[in-house]
């Protein structure tokens, strides 16, 4: 072998080895910063899955800094190629990819005989507004459609950072209104029994959409009969609620990562991340109202059992506020909407997980709805963690606890 080629091979091997050692070191460091309490269901498997996700994220960051590709683009491609499993369509279900008002959707129609018109569900995938897509919730939507005899529409809304707020919400509105207008004629669905729902940031879009439609009060436009909110992200005013403190390092959603997703959705300025976590973006005149709605005193005693520290009032920074003031509007933070908007929302299902940074805001939204004498069904998963539903029927990535979450959703939808 030519000595020059041999040197090139050795040099390349050394670079690969150095890269792998760097990734392993960074993964180890990240894993040491995670904290999975003993109460989490299947905690050792969650450790393993978290390690995989951390490794993918680190490789994405390295490639991003090298100018090879954007870290989010790498994450999307990896998840699509290696972590998303599309199984053959089961008997009793018809699945079609379509477009509603130019928005990609996937429609799941039961083929079993139905007396009269079916109910419908328009579902918005979670994923921090940057990762979720139709394929990622395919198994979830299939299961809901089959078990509840419901026509389910999964919406492939545009994603950040390429398409920031309000583009994803606009797509959800366009797809939902289109389906409501053709539900009976084209899908044999009762338009008065069509709910909207989603998980995580998809649930955020569902809640925001209901408030947007209610505000418009268009007489001829049908309105969702219910909203199904699975561990929803509902506010970006306070990242120091007890659940944010207790679960700040519990996979698969860390406290800092939630701020990252909000910023990607709004403006992409990651330099504001620490400012948002500290709360300096909240104007002084809004703080008393937000404190009333977000006070830990509104939470059940069990949510405080693992302890929390009262966060000192942050000094307001007007420059930070103006850079991201949309984040405090009701279309991004539905929990912070005025009472009049909360009053107009449809019956609501809310699911929260004990080991989730978003646990408290789901419960606090429930309280605001109940204060308005709205119909609310709440289910809390004691051993649950954020993102459970995405592991439903995913082979070696599956978590049995994901079945528990879906069973609760199925039971609620059957009653609509």
Distance of CA 336 to CAs 82, 145, 189, 282, Å? 38, 32, 33, 12
Q: Can you give 225-246 as a three-state secondary structure string?
A: CCEEEECCCCCCCCCCCHHHHH
Residues 41, 378, 327, 215: what is their CA dihedral angle, to the nearest 10 degrees? 150
Three-class SS of residue 111? coil
Q: Is residue 120 a contact partner of residue 151, using CB atoms and an 8 Å limit? A: yes
pLDDT band at 4 (very low <50, low <70, confident <90, very high): low
Q: What is the pLDDT of residues 243-300, one digit of tens each?
A: 999 999 999 899 999 999 999 999 999 999 999 999 999 999 999 999 999 999 999 9
Check if 356 is active-site.
Answer: yes
Read off the pLDDT band of 8 (50, 70, 90).
Answer: low
Active-site residue, selected from the candidate residues 138, 238, 356, 360:
356
Q: What is the dihedral of CA 236, 241, 246, 249, to 10 degrees?
A: 20
CB 357 within 8 A of CB 250: yes
List pLDDT tens digits, range 191-213.
999 999 999 999 999 999 999 99
For residue 200, indicate whether it is catalytic. Answer: yes
Whether 163 is catalytic: no
Q: pLDDT grade, residue 60 (50/70/90)?
A: confident
How far apart are the C-alpha atoms of 116 and 114, rounded to whole Å?
6
CA distance 227 to 408: 14
pLDDT at 395 over 70: yes
Q: Find residue 351's DSSP bridge partners.
A: 230, 379
The residue whose two tokens read 């789901």 is: 362
Cα 39 to Cα 43: distance, rounded to the nearest angstrom? 8
Q: Coil, helix or strand for 1?
A: coil
pLDDT for 142 equals: 97
* Residue 152 clears pLDDT 70, i.e. is over it: yes
| Catalytic annotation, pick one of 136, 154, 200, 333 | 200
Among 143, 330, 386, 401, the one annotated catalytic: 386
Share of the chain above pLDDT 90, in %: 69
H/E stretch holding 120 = strand 118-124
Q: Is the peptide bond before 347 cis (omega within 30 degrees of 0)?
A: no
Burial bucket for residue 61 (CB in 10 Å: 0-12, 13-18, 19+)? middle
Among 93, 55, 140, 88, CA closest to 394: 140
Sign of torsion over alpha carbons 7, 10, 13, 17: negative
Distance CA(182)–CA(211), nearest Å, equals 22
Query: Which of 413, 401, 385 has the alpha carbon at shortest distance from 36?
Result: 385
Assess contact for 179 and 194: CB atoms under 8 A. Answer: yes
């Amino acid at each position: 072998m030519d000595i020059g080629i041999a040197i090139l091979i050795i040099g390349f091997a050394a670079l690969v080895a150095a890269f792998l050692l760097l990734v392993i070191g960074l993964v180890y460091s990240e894993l040491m910063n995670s904290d999975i309490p003993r109460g989490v269901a299947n905690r050792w498997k969650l450790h393993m899955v978290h390690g995989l996700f951390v490794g993918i994220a680190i490789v994405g960051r390295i490639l991003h800094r090298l100018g090879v590709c954007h870290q989010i683009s790498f994450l999307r491609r990896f998840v699509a190629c290696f972590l998303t499993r599309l199984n053959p369509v089961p008997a009793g279900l018809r699945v079609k990819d379509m477009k509603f008002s130019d928005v990609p959707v996937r429609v799941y129609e039961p083929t079993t005989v139905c007396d009269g018109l079916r109910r419908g569900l328009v579902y918005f995938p979670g994923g921090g507004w940057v990762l979720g897509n139709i394929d990622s919730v395919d198994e979830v939507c299939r299961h809901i459609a089959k078990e509840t005899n419901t026509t389910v529409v999964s919406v492939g809304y545009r994603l950040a950072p390429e398409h920031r707020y309000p583009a994803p919400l606009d797509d959800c509105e366009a797809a939902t209104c289109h389906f409501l207008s053709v539900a009976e004629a084209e899908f044999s669905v009762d338009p008065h029994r069509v709910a909207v729902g989603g998980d995580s940031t998809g649930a955020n879009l569902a809640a925001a959409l209901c408030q947007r439609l209610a505000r418009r009060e268009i007489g001829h436009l049908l309105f969702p009969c219910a909203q199904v909110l699975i561990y929803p992200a509902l506010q970006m005013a306070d990242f120091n609620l007890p659940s944010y403190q207790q679960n700040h390092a519990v996979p698969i959603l860390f406290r800092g990562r939630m701020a990252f997703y909000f910023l990607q959705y709004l403006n992409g300025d990651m330099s504001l991340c620490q400012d948002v976590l500290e709360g300096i973006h909240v104007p002084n005149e809004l703080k008393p109202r937000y404190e009333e709605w977000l006070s830990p005193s509104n939470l059940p005693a069990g949510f405080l059992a693992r302890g929390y520290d009262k966060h000192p009032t942050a000094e307001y920074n007007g420059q930070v506020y103006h850079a991201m003031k949309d984040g405090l509007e009701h279309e991004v933070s539905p929990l912070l909407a005025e009472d009049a908007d909360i009053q107009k929302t449809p019956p609501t299902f809310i699911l929260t997980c004990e080991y989730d940074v978003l646990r408290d805001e789901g419960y606090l939204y429930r309280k605001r709805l109940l204060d308005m004498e709205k119909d609310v069904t709440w289910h809390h998963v004691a051993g649950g963690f954020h993102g459970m539903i995405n592991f439903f029927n995913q082979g070696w990535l599956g978590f049995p606890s994901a079945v528990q979450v879906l069973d609760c959703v199925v039971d609620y939808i059957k009653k609509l």
